[in-house]
Every structure is written in structure tokens, then in C-alpha cells.
């Protein structure tokens, strides 16, 4: 198992290290630049859309790792991956277009719901929950409950990761921490259907994030909506895909605990906008990182603090998973 995981993780890292600066040059030529606005913290126009490089690194490395394992009879391919890939492609295309020419919220949200439906069709579903009144007993949800619950989870996480993408290294770093946690939990459930896929995909996701961070930390390029929404979509799908529902069966609270920093920022931001009676999708400075900056922290200090606040619940989720599985 170590070889395919290394192929996925190291392969995604290597490809991202090569493709990210290549996309930086392309972005400058086509004018894909993030121009500073009133709520932005960067001061100069910066190439954006680096999510294209992350997307390519993720799928190339995952495809190579999957081919290696399947060709040696170590794993039967999971057709659900095809539907998740199709949904991720739709997310990337629309978000990349939005990076170049901003789109209204309606079309973007419609594509996100379509992508979530594709993931649900492919087997990424919240359909098993722990019975709080019966230890070791599970509640199996009917499709008409599972479908809206799963779709809202995926769409919500897609946007939540996009919302935290406000400082260099923030979204990619937080995604890498949560992705590593999901990968570790999937490794502990190897042998159940779908766990192999989550391990490989999780490793590829972490590798692509780390490769992108090499340049993002230098303020050379932003991932844009194309990257942030892709990361959120894949994270959400992996947390409920296939045999990894062993983790969700232990209460779904374990993945939620790992995602809690992202959910906190999303929930608080939504509440702040509703309280002020402004549109939920209207950009402002109510996000977690903006509040830290307003308290006098530097951008690097704010990022490191959020990293730590992400690592703590992720570590707790992993310990809880070990104790209860």
C-alpha cells in the first residue's frame, strides 16, 4: 500500500511544483489577475486560477496510482470516482471562468448543486448514522433523506473552503491538514469498500496542496475560486465516499469535528450577514482571517494560528476515531 500512496502523494506534489509556475506565466499572458479590492489584503495585481494546476496534479497523480494498483490486482476500480471527477470538472470550469469574468451567484450555485448530485449518484452519500440510543447500532437513511443531506453537505463545504481563501497559504494549508486526517482514518479502515480510493485520493489532494503552497506562500499566485471550490468539493466527497462511511457511521460527528474550523468560519459569516440583512453571498470582511488581521496580527501569524486551530480538532477527530472504530 505504501507504493501507491507514495505515487499519489509525491506524484501530485511533483506535478504541482511544475505546473503551478507554468500556470503563473499563462495567467499573466491572458490577464487572469486578481486586482486588489476594498476587502482584499494583497496590494498588487496577482496571477490567479492556480487551481487549474492543482486540479491537473491531483487527477494525474491519482490516475497513475489507481492504474498501478489495479494493474497488480490490488484494487478493483471504483466507478464512483468517475462521477466525482465529472462533478469536479464542472466546478473547475465554471469557477475558472468566474475568475476571469465574474458570474452571478445563481449560475455558480446551480453548477455546484449539479456537481453534488453527480457525486451522490457515484456513491458519495450520507446514508448511515450512529444510533445515539443504541451503542453499536446504525440508522440507515432513505434516499429522500440521504440525497438532500449529502447535497447540502457537499455544496456547503465547497463554498466554505472558498470563503476561507483570503490569505496566502490559508485554504491550501487547511485543506492539507483536513485531507491528511481523512487519509489517516481511511488507512485505518483498509479492506472496506471504498477505503482504498479515499487513501489514494487523500494523498493526492495533500500533495497537490503542498506543491501549490510552495508558490502561494511567496505571493506569486492565487488558487482563485477554481482552486478553492475544487478543494472543498473533493474534501466533502471524500468524507462520505464508499467504505469510508465507516467513519461517518461512527456518528458523522468525527468528520464534522475534523471540518469544524471551516464550518465555524462558514457559520459565523452566514450569521453575521443575515444579522446585518445583507445577501449571504455578498463578499465582506466578516471572515475569520479578516477578524484576526483587524486585531493586529500579521498575515503570516493569522495563517499559522488558523493552522493550529485546524490541527487540534483534526487530531481530536483522529483519536476519537481510533477509540471508537
pTM over 0.85: yes
Using alpha carbons, select from 253, 255, 123, 241 the residue that is nearest to residue 181: 255
33-34 and 46-47 beta bridge pairing: antiparallel
Q: Is the pLDDT of residue 273 over 80?
A: no
Domain ranges of the chain: 2-324
Q: What is the pLDDT of residues 44-84, one digit of tens each?
A: 889 999 999 999 999 999 999 999 988 887 777 677 788 99
* Predicted pLDDT at 247: 46
C-alpha cell at 32: 487572469
Handedness of CA 77, 83, 86, 92 (dihedral sign): negative
CB 219, CB 42: distance < 8 Å = yes
| Residues 138-152: b if buried by 16+ CB within 10 A, e if exposed | eeebeeeebbebbbe
Q: Is the pLDDT of residue 300 over 80?
A: yes
CB 287, CB 269: distance < 8 Å = yes
User: Which comes out higher in pLDDT, residue 4 or 138?
Assistant: 4
Task: Determine which of 107-116, 129-138, 192-201, 295-304 has the lowest per-residue pLDDT on average.
Answer: 129-138
Q: What percent of the chain has pLDDT over 90?
A: 48
Q: Is the pLDDT of residue 248 over 70?
A: no
User: Which comes out higher in pLDDT, residue 207 or 243?
Assistant: 207
Amino acid at each position: 500500500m505504501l507504493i501507491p500512496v507514495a505515487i499519489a502523494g509525491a506524484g501530485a506534489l511533483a506535478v504541482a511544483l511544475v505546473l503551478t509556475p507554468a500556470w503563473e506565466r499563462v495567467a499573466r499572458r491572458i490577464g487572469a489577475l486578481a486586482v486588489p479590492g476594498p476587502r482584499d489584503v494583497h496590494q498588487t495585481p496577482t496571477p490567479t486560477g492556480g487551481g487549474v494546476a492543482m486540479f491537473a496534479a491531483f487527477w494525474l497523480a491519482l490516475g497513475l496510482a489507481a492504474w498501478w494498483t489495479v494493474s497488480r490486482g490490488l484494487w478493483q476500480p471504483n466507478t464512483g470516482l468517475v462521477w466525482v471527477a465529472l462533478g469536479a470538472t464542472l466546478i473547475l470550469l465554471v469557477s475558472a471562468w468566474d475568475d476571469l469574468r465574474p458570474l452571478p451567484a445563481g449560475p455558480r450555485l446551480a453548477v455546484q448543486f449539479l456537481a453534488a448530485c453527480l457525486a451522490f449518484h457515484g456513491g458519495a452519500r450520507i446514508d448511515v448514522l450512529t444510533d445515539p440510543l443504541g451503542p453499536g447500532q446504525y440508522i440507515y437513511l432513505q434516499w429522500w433523506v440521504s440525497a438532500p443531506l449529502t447535497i447540502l453537505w457537499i455544496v456547503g463545504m465547497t463554498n466554505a473552503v472558498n470563503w476561507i481563501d483570503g490569505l496566502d497559504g490559508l485554504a491550501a494549508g487547511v485543506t492539507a491538514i483536513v485531507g491528511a486526517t481523512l487519509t489517516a482514518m481511511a488507512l485505518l479502515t483498509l479492506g472496506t469498500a471504498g477505503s482504498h480510493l479515499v487513501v489514494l485520493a487523500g494523498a493526492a489532494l495533500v500533495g497537490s496542496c503542498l506543491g501549490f503552497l510552495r508558490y502561494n506562500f511567496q505571493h506569486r499566485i492565487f488558487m482563485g475560486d477554481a482552486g478553492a471550490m475544487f478543494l472543498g468539493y473533493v474534501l466533502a466527497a471524500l468524507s462520505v465516499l464508499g467504505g469510508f462511511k465507516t467513519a461517518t457511521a461512527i456518528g458523522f460527528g468525527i468528520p464534522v469535528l475534523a471540518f469544524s474550523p471551516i464550518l465555524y468560519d462558514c457559520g459565523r459569516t452566514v450569521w453575521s450577514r443575515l444579522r446585518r440583512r445583507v445577501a449571504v453571498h455578498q463578499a465582506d470582511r466578516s471572515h475569520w482571517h479578516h477578524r484576526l488581521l483587524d486585531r493586529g496580527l500579521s498575515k503570516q501569524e493569522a495563517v499559522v494560528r488558523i493552522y493550529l486551530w485546524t490541527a487540534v480538532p483534526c487530531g481530536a477527530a483522529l483519536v476519537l476515531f481510533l477509540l471508537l472504530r
